[in-house]
Structure 1
Amino acid sequence: MKKVAILQSNYIPWKGYFDLIASVDEFILYDDMQYTRRDWRNRNQIKTPQGLQWLTVPVKVKGKYHQKIRETEIDGTDWAQEHWKSLAQNYRRAPHFEAIADWLEPVYLDPDNHLSQLNRRLIEAICGYLGIRTTLHNSWDYELVEGKTERLASLCKQAQGQEYVSGPSAKDYIDEQVFEDLGIRVTWFEYAGYAEYPQLWGPFSHHVTILDLLFNCGRDAHRYMRYVKA
């Protein structure tokens, strides 16, 4: 039974995002959705001695009220050096910083023009390190139909999926009957119950970028995830 998940791209997402990718056979980056400000598309959090800090990729939004995520352009290139400097300053004491930096720093120093491209490249790099072999596609690789649930169900059907795995927040708007009519089972992914791992700087936080886990745990990161295997 082929499992498919469909979700907007995020900037250096938290570990739960990668567990969702690892739990399915195909993951569709749903960047044909409208870009939303102050969201996870272009920002995420790291830990610092002063508490949680946002890393935000600047994007061009002036006058672009209805642009899609895939159309959203990155504003300049200085942010890349600044983000890497922040990561290095706050994680250089982490046990696996150097090993992660070997492959991650070059990604940062070769920035993209569009947010979707950047997010996908970082997601692919992290999946590669974690050994996640899930197939990644963009939503525009398929035909897009009208209707919120209808479009998701159609994408899953076109990907030849028999099971659609969704995050729990979508329960508020997904009509499961639309999937059932296409012979597709809907299951809900559960993000709760993660174990804590050795973490720098104050009280533990689960809701930070997965880079925090990688810098602190390296190849043992899978021990603190549910679907990523050694």
Structure 2
Amino acid sequence: MIVSIHQPNLFPWMGFFEKMAASDTMILLDQVPYSKRSYQNRVKIKGTHGTKWLTVPVQVKGNFAQITHDVLISHDQDWKSKHVKTLEFFYGNSPQFNDLFPKIQQLYDLEHIDHLIDFTIPSIELIKKELGITTELIKASTLHAKGTRSELLAELVTAIGGDTYLSGPTGKDYIEDHYFKDRGLEIDYHPFQPFPYPQLFGEFTAGLSTLDFLFNVQDLSIWKGLKSL
């Protein structure tokens, strides 16, 4: 069984979902320290004047070394309405707007969104469904694995009976492979090469939220990396 592991980011980019599609199970790493100013609570989308951050405000002041699943959303501002209006303004003329936008609105209408993962995990599940990916998602915090860094990753794969850990290409720079070898696990590295697709507002920009792809592309099979399509 091939297992990938990643932080539960907000509306992640396409490389996230290609790795998911290449896995039997993806573990959402919610039990490690939260990374401030990372993609866990923000992602880039594209508008008339270039890229813009779509950000979920979180309560970080004085909360050092918070665990990801403990991070609370800050409701000092009406971030939900701001997001919805921004997405409508940026993508209102996109080919798939009428189909996708109501589903995104339902996501923002969810109740009891107090912690960041209460929103980011549903955002991942929404895109997963739209892409037709069948990979199982599991929260790391439910597995009670011990260790840090590479040891934790190996323990998580072992905890669900996996035999192969699927990493992104940058894993070669930090993974300590002996933790995996000691447990009889293989490591595979899955590269993702961004490719151009039809976009609004000028020349193609890579690295955006997968929402940009879903709003703009009708034939999802142009994404060759998604073997499940």
1:222 & 1:155 partners in 2: Cα distance? 32
Contact 2:145 2:159 in 1 (8 A): no
1:109 equivalent in structure 2: 109
Deviation of the 1:228 alpha carbon: 4.6
Contact 2:147 2:155 in 1 (8 A): no
2:78 & 2:4 partners in 1: Cα distance? 33
**For 1:82-97, what aligned pairs fall within 5 Å after superposition?**
82-97=82-97
1:11 aligns with 2:10: yes
Q: Quick one: which amino acid aligns to residue 214 of structure 1? A: L
1:207 aligns with 2:182: no
Aligned residues: 227
**SS state at 1:118 partner:** helix
1:225 & 1:65 partners in 2: Cα distance? 41
1:157 & 1:24 partners in 2: Cα distance? 15
Deviation of the 1:149 alpha carbon: 1.0
2:175 & 2:144 partners in 1: Cα distance? 19
Contact 1:70 1:114 in 2 (8 A): yes
2:62 equivalent in structure 1: 63
**For 1:169-188, what aligned pairs fall within 5 Å after superposition?**
169-188=170-189
2:57 & 2:10 partners in 1: Cα distance? 12
Q: Quick one: which amino acid aligns to residue 96 of structure 1? A: Q
Contact 2:4 2:166 in 1 (8 A): yes
Deviation of the 1:115 alpha carbon: 0.8
Contact 2:167 2:187 in 1 (8 A): yes
Deviation of the 1:227 alpha carbon: 2.1
Q: Quick one: which amino acid aligns to residue 202 of structure 2? A: G
Question: Aligned Cα RMSD in Å?
Answer: 1.3
2:214 & 2:7 partners in 1: Cα distance? 22
Q: Quick one: which amino acid aligns to residue 215 of structure 2? A: F
2:179 & 2:119 partners in 1: Cα distance? 33
Taking structure 1 as the reference length, the TM-score comes to 0.95
| 1:65–1:225 distance in 2 versus 1, CA, 3 Å | farther
Contact 1:222 1:229 in 2 (8 A): no
1:216 & 1:36 partners in 2: Cα distance? 30
Unaligned runs of 5+ in 2: none
1:82 & 1:208 partners in 2: Cα distance? 19
1:151 equivalent in structure 2: 152
1:147 & 1:224 partners in 2: Cα distance? 34
**SS state at 2:52 partner:** strand
1:132 & 1:187 partners in 2: Cα distance? 20
Deviation of the 1:157 alpha carbon: 0.6
Contact 1:130 1:228 in 2 (8 A): no
2:129 & 2:53 partners in 1: Cα distance? 25
Q: Sequence identity of aligned pairs in percent?
A: 34
Contact 1:132 1:228 in 2 (8 A): no
Contact 1:60 1:74 in 2 (8 A): yes
Deviation string, structure 1 residues 122-146 (Cα, Å, up to 9, x no partner): 1111111111111100001112212
2:217 & 2:102 partners in 1: Cα distance? 15
- Would you identify which runs of 4 or more consecutive aligned residues in structure 1 move more than 6 Å? none
